[in-house]
Chain A
Amino acid sequence: MWTGFTKQGGVDEGAYLVGDWSEIVARAGGENYQLGNCPEGVLEVSREYYMHEDTSLPRKVDHICPIRVGMKFSGVLEEIHRRNVSLLVGQTLANTDSYVYIGAMGLNYFYTLRGRRNRCSDNVAVEFCIWKCMSTNLFSLGGGDGAQGSPFEATGIDDTDGDYGGDATNPLGYIWSPAPET
C-alpha cells in the first residue's frame, strides 16, 4: 500500500476561481480594444493524440504522440457597437464606419486576445494570451428582456513567425497563473 496519501478533497481552497473572465482585450495595429462584458467566457486548450497499439494479446498502447494543439476563447459579447460588430463578423477592429458590410471578399483580420480574471481569495490575476487569433463565431443577435449579446469565438493560429508577439517556444499563447496561496 502506498503511504503518500495525506489530504482528501481540496488541497488549496484559496485557488478556486469564481465568476467570469472579467476583462477581455483585443490588440491589433498597436491599439488595445476593450471588448467589454463577456459572460460565460471559456478558454479552451485542445489537444489531440495519436495512440498506437501493438499486436500483443491483449493489445496495449505502445506509443502516444501529440498530433494537434489549439487555443480558443469563446463567450458572449454583450456590447454591440460598430467596433465589436466588425470584430464579430471577422473584420477589422479599427472600424470607424457605422456600416459593416457582410459578404464581400476581404482580408483576414488577426489580433492578439488577452483575458484576465482575479483569484477571489487574494485578488491575484490569472491571465491568458492568444497571440494571433481570428474570429470564428457566427454572428447572432437575439431579443429578450436581458442584455442581448452575440456569440464570440476567437481561435488561435500558429505565430511561430512572431508577427503578433509569439515565437518558436511560445507559438500559440500562454496562461499565466499564480503560485498556490498560503
Chain B
Amino acid sequence: MAIPARRQDDNQERSIQKHIKDNFATPNAITVNYQDLTFDVSSLNLWVDITFLSHGAGRKGETMVQFDVYSRVRGKQPSGDRLMTTLKDAVQKLINAMHTNCIQVYDFADPTSPALISKAKLMVQNSGGTFREPESDQLLGLEDGVARRSLTYRLRMLEDASRASSYYD
C-alpha cells in the first residue's frame, strides 16, 4: 500500500520548491535551479541551486535541503560582485523566505495544478531545536570566478512531532 500523498518525498520536494518559487524566486526575480540538469548558467550572474540531501520528513525523520547561492565575482571588474554584496542580499532574501514556521505540502499528482493537502505541513526546525533558522550557513569561497554560499535547512513533518501517533497511515 502506498503511503499517503503528504508523506511522499516527491510531493514534499516539489512543495518546498513551490514555497521557494512563491516566496523567493518570483518576488525577488532571482533564478532558481530546481534540480534541472540542463540548467545553463553561462548568462547568469546570480542563481540558486536546490539539492535535497536526505529525505525522512513524514517517516518520523527529517529532510535536509541545501541551497547553494552563486554570484559571479568576475575577477576585479567593477561590474562584478567583488564585495559579495549581491550574494549577501540574495542569501538574506532566501533566509527571509525560509523564516517560516511551516511550509504547506501539496499533492502534485497533476503537476500543473497542485492540490493543497489539508493540515500537511513541513516545519523548519534546526537540530538545535530553533524554529525557522538554517542548520548551517557557509561561504564556500570562489570557483571559476563564482562565489558560493551554501545553506542547509532541516525540515520535519508537523505530524512527526506528535509523540505518540496511534495510527500512522
Contacts and interface: CB of A to CB of B under 8 A. Distances in A.
A13 B120 contact: yes
Contact of B129 (A8, A9, A14, A19): A19
A123 B159 contact: no
Interface string B150-169: 00000000110110011111
Interface in B121-169: 121, 123, 125, 129, 131, 158-159, 161-162, 165-169
Interface stretch (A54-62, A67-75, A114-122, A142-150): A114-122
A10 B159 contact: yes
A129 to B, nearest CB: 23
Interface in A108-144: 118, 120-123
Contacts of B129: 19
B95 to A, nearest CB: 17
A86 B121 CA distance: 42
Given A13-B121, A121-B121, A8 B159 contact: no
Nearest to A17: B161
A67 B127 CA distance: 44
Chain B CB within 10 Å, residue with most, of A12, A121, A181 = A121
B161 to A, nearest CB: 5
B102 A8 contact: no
Nearest to B118: A182
A120 B121 contact: yes
A2 interface: no
Interface in A2-22: 8-10, 12-14, 16, 18-19
Interface in B93-108: 101-102
A181 B169 CA distance: 20
B76 interface: no
A9 B166 CA distance: 5
Interface residues of A, number: 16
Contact of A16 (B120, B131, B159): B159
A171 B129 CA distance: 36
Contacts of B120: 13
Chain A CB within 10 Å, residue with most, of B101, B123, B167 = B101
A153 to B, nearest CB: 23
B99 to A, nearest CB: 11
A120 B131 contact: yes
A153 B19 CA distance: 41
Contacts of A10: 159, 162, 165
B162 A13 contact: yes
A42 B118 CA distance: 29
A6 B136 CA distance: 42
Given A9-B165, A19-B129, A120 B101 contact: yes
Chain A CB within 10 Å, residue with most, of B118, B158, B159, B169 = B158
Contact of A9 (B101, B161, B168): B168
A8 B119 contact: no
B161 A18 contact: yes
Considering the complex of A and B, which 8 residue pairs feature the smallest CB-CB distances, nearest first? A9-B167, A8-B167, A13-B159, A14-B119, A13-B119, A18-B161, A121-B121, A120-B101
Interface of B: 101-102, 118-121, 123, 125, 129, 131, 158-159, 161-162, 165-169
